[in-house]
A and B are shown apart, each in its own frame.
Chain A
């Protein structure tokens, strides 16, 4: 049952929104959402990889032998991840420094491999692109929201601009590891409330 292109695209923005509904790709979510900018930067890098790998894997889907498909997917994804790494180093250097080790870790982001396995190797290029774009943007959105949440509470700023003024004592732990879990848990709870209505 083929969905239209728009439907493929839109599903990534709510129904199958990672990491909330589609519980995948948690690692970077927890670690890079210390500020809104970092979260969105990571989201865009991941979307880029997702788009490229979905497209190439879909193009090659009839050539890649079943038995070694995971190895092939991984090689393709890892190549695009390294390309993104170079591009970020060359054009968005400060962001590259902040995201650090998590850029190469996009290769083990379950979202990318998951979509390749579940979708791209079974569908045409246009649909795979739409799927990749939707899920990627949804992911970026989630990262942005979580990043903002943690940044506002944990550092009192939003995209680097002070929100509450000097008197505000930030919940510093929110920008550290524990805050990642708690922030994600709270947001997930809110999403559950909204979708059960």
Chain B
């Protein structure tokens, strides 16, 4: 049990997929302008990453490894993620239309979210067991959401402040993200 708690802490804080491993930057900057979009994206990522994590792990264990087809991993994983996102979209549209409307455009954007593909690859590289892959996928997604929400909160404040013109928008956004990342840097020793 403690092993999973340590894994959770590692994925959410110490090795935060966005702030410590720099994965998932595009959507990070794009959806952190307001709290609503940040929360929406976080939910979507948690949803997709958990399913993608399990599916890619299973494909690796059941097909790629035994048949020595590991060089097809990149192609296979990204197609799995893209199809999953497609499926989830169709499923939500039919059965949970309010959630679908709430997630909006963020759902298709997840296909190119490096955090999702990255986390799936990390599960394989670190040779996690099924349970570990499940926990880590969930926690990486939670960590991503945490970073996103924290950052959105900061950004909403920054927009109110008087920022010099060249620094506006993305530039100050990045520098602020850097400071949030610095804060998380303090977790490093816990790995």
Contacts and interface: CB of A to CB of B under 8 A. Distances in A.
Given A178-B181, A178-B185, A30 B25 contact: yes
A10 B110 CA distance: 31
A196 B170 CA distance: 15
Interface string A185-197: 1101110110010
Among all A-B residue pairs, the 9 with the closest Cβ atoms: A185-B174, A181-B178, A182-B178, A26-B25, A185-B175, A31-B22, A27-B114, A178-B181, A30-B22
Nearest to A113: B112
Nearest to A100: B125
A81 B179 CA distance: 33
Interface residues of A, number: 45
B20 A177 contact: yes
Nearest to A32: B22
A193 B185 contact: no
Interface string B52-86: 00000000000000000001111100110011000
Nearest to A186: B175
Contacts of B122: 101
B159 interface: no
Nearest to B109: A110
B113 interface: yes
A24 B185 CA distance: 25
Interface string B156-191: 000000000111101111111111011011000000
Given A173-B182, A189-B166, A27 B25 contact: yes
B166 A26 contact: no
B117 interface: yes
Most chain B CB inside 10 Å of its own CB: which residue of A86, A104, A109, A179: A104
A125 to B, nearest CB: 23
Contact of A177 (B111, B117, B171, B181): B181
Contacts, number: 134
Nearest to A106: B74
Contact of B22 (A25, A27, A104, A113): A27
A85 B74 contact: yes
Contacts of A27: 22-26, 114, 118
Interface in A49-85: 70-71, 74-75, 78-79, 81-82, 85
Contacts of A86: 71
A29 B79 CA distance: 24
A104 B121 contact: yes
B170 A101 contact: no
A177 B185 contact: yes
Contacts of A30: 22, 25
Given A29-B25, A173-B182, A178-B181, A107 B74 contact: yes
Contact of B121 (A24, A101, A109, A183): A101
A120 interface: no
A36 B175 CA distance: 20
B29 interface: yes
Contact of A189 (B73, B171, B176): B171
A107 to B, nearest CB: 5
B79 A75 contact: yes
A105 interface: yes
